[in-house]
Structure 1
Amino acid sequence: MPTKITPGKLILSLVAITTSTGCYVADWNPTHIFNPAWPPHAKFHNGQTMSMGLCLGLLTLYYTWRPTGAPKDSLFTAALLGSLYWITGMSAILYPGTMWIDPEFGEGAPQRVAFAVLAVLAWVGYVVG
């Protein structure tokens, strides 16, 4: 039996696709993975983070669209998985020596708003169903 298309599932799908691809859009460039100033182990963790985003996004899609007798439970799991990447992204600033952007690339915290919006959107998708 096909699963029903709902506004909540569409919102969760948007979050999932952004989670799976956004980390590569944001990090596959000279400011991150190709930054010659970054030590190899920092790049290792950047790679880990990109892979985590991809996996969380794919799992979010799976739990959003899998056929089940308990759709609200699946959407709860999808929202949880869909928000984790963004919540942990917001928490990263709490670690010693971290900055939103390396000084040579400017100032500000453009990702802060995007991370918060996507984390909230995942839960909006759950509530809307």
Structure 2
Amino acid sequence: MLGRVLLTLDSIGLLFGAVMADMGPTHMQNPNWPPHANLSVILGVAALFYTWRKPLTPRLRREYMGISAFTGSVYWAAGLAAVLFPGAMGLDPEFGGPGFPQAPVFIGFGLSGLIGSWLEA
């Protein structure tokens, strides 16, 4: 059950945390921020769906947990990978950058999903 709780926590981060961060002055309210798609809500719904879906077989249980791990962690991994691209930062200069203050949050939620699915599989 701890695994499902961790996966659910990860999903809540995707469903609400990422959206709330995007509503702030560094993203949607910033005229310098280029518009882009945010898939966190879709990934959060998918992670929740596969976390709590009843498997018919042990093999399906492992498969569902693998899907939950992927959908629950890919957003956080992509965010962390942004620092690998030249000129990309986690914080724009106008807001105190360079820096990546959200890195601990991304790591925490990403690990929550991965560890949760591992515990459940």
- Kindly report which structure 2 residues correspond to 1:33-112, keeping only aligned pairs within 5 A, or say none: 33-38=28-33, 42-43=34-35, 45=36, 48-49=37-38, 52-69=39-56, 70-107=60-97, 108-112=99-103
User: TM-score, length-normalised on structure 2?
Assistant: 0.88
SS at match of 1:31: coil
Using the TM superposition, give the Cα deviation of residue 95 of structure 1 relative to its aligned residue in structure 2, in angstroms: 2.2
- The equivalent residue for 2:108 is 117
**For 1:68 and 1:100, how far apart are their aligned partners in 2?**
39
**For 1:99 and 1:12, how far apart are their aligned partners in 2?**
28
User: TM-score, length-normalised on structure 1?
Assistant: 0.83
Using the TM superposition, give the Cα deviation of residue 58 of structure 1 relative to its aligned residue in structure 2, in angstroms: 0.3
Q: What is the percent sequence identity of the aligned residues? A: 36
Structure 2 runs not aligned, ≥5 long: none
Using the TM superposition, give the Cα deviation of residue 31 of structure 1 relative to its aligned residue in structure 2, in angstroms: 1.1
* Deviation string, structure 1 residues 19-61 (Cα, Å, up to 9, x no partner): 11111111112211110223xxx12x1xx12xx0000000000
* Deviation string, structure 1 residues 53-91 (Cα, Å, up to 9, x no partner): 000000000000111122222111101110000000111
RMSD: 1.3
Using the TM superposition, give the Cα deviation of residue 112 of structure 1 relative to its aligned residue in structure 2, in angstroms: 1.1
* Deviation string, structure 1 residues 98-126 (Cα, Å, up to 9, x no partner): 11111121243111111112111111101
Aligned length: 116
- The equivalent residue for 1:20 is 15
- The equivalent residue for 1:3 is none
**For 2:28 and 2:18, how far apart are their aligned partners in 1?**
11
Structure 1 runs not aligned, ≥5 long: 1-5
